Amino acid sequence: MLIAIPRLLDAQALRAVRDLIDRAQWVDGNVTSGHQSALAKRNLQLPETAPEARQAGQMVLDALGQSPLFIAAALPLRIFPPLFNSYAGGQAFGTHVDNAVRIQAGTGFRVRSDLSMTVFLEEPEAYDGGELTIETHFGVQQVKLAAGDAVLYPSSSLHRVEPVTRGRRVASFFWLQSMIRDDAARQMLFDLDSSIQALAADLGHGDAQVIRLTGVYHNLLRRWSDA
Q: In this structure, which amino acid lies at residue 211?
A: I
The separation between CA 63 and the C-alpha centre of its own chain, rounded to angstroms, equals 12
Compute CA distances 193 → 3, 35, 100, whole Å: 14, 39, 27
Q: Using CA atoms in the order 155, 156, 160, 161, what is the torsion angle rounded to 10 degrees?
A: -10
Residue 169 assigned as binding residue? yes
Across the chain, which distance is largest between two alpha carbons, in Å?
Answer: 58
Determine the angle formed by the axes of helices 208-224 and 183-203, rounding to 10 degrees.
160
- Under 8 Å between Cβ of 103 and 109: yes
Determine the angle formed by the axes of helices 11-22 and 51-65, rounding to 10 degrees.
160
Residue 98 assigned as binding residue? yes
Binding region for 2-oxoglutarate: 169
Binding region for Fe cation: 96, 98, 159
Binding region: 96, 98, 159, 169
